Amino acid sequence: MHFPIIALENVETLKKDWCDDLPFDDKTLQEHTDYYGDVYNSEERRDVVNSDWFAELLDGYATLDKKRYTITFHDVDTCRRHFEEYLEDLTKELYEKAKNHTLNGYHLYVAANEYKGCSALFYLSDDGYAQTSFDFLDDATYRAGKTYKIGNIFDAHM
């Protein structure tokens, strides 16, 4: 299955200085991919930014500016509340599966790594590390009020 790794850049970073090569020793990238590296072309990048899944992923956490290719995180309380509500719904869903004897380890793996089943990864260029969609949104409170430029997007496979 192919999915994107979305690099987030400081809004001041010039395009020529964007991350164009991901570190092969990044633990998250190693654990969640068996291949990554090719940079999406401008059309593929635009498709990700304009996709419904990307807007839905950020909904409640950040405002997506599709013209400027930026995301601006909401305030701490909004991000925290939204994530807590998500966890409440998720644990209810997992509990129902457990009661029905249909819960398995893979369900827990996905729940702990993929926010709403989104396999995309995020690479924070200024910080120098990657995160799963789940960790990225769990950490949204630390990014409250900050704006990031969507930089290069890399193809990945698992």
Q: Give burial (CB, 10 Å; 0-12/13-18/19+) of 33.
A: buried
Its pTM stands at 0.94
Separation CA 113–CA 134 (nearest Å): 5
Domain boundaries, the chain: 2-9+20-157
**Amino acid 128: pLDDT:** 95
**Amino acid 139: pLDDT:** 97
The pair of structure tokens assigned to 43 is 């059309």
Contact 132, 114 (CB under 8 A): yes
Residues 6+ positions from 84 with CB-CB distance below 8 Å:
none
**Amino acid 1: pLDDT:** 87
Each of the 158 residues of the chain gets a pLDDT tens digit; together they read 899 999 999 999 999 999 999 999 999 999 999 999 899 999 999 999 999 999 999 999 999 999 999 999 999 999 999 999 999 999 999 999 999 999 999 999 999 999 999 999 999 999 999 999 999 999 999 999 999 999 999 999 98
**Amino acid 158: pLDDT:** 84
**Amino acid 37: pLDDT:** 84
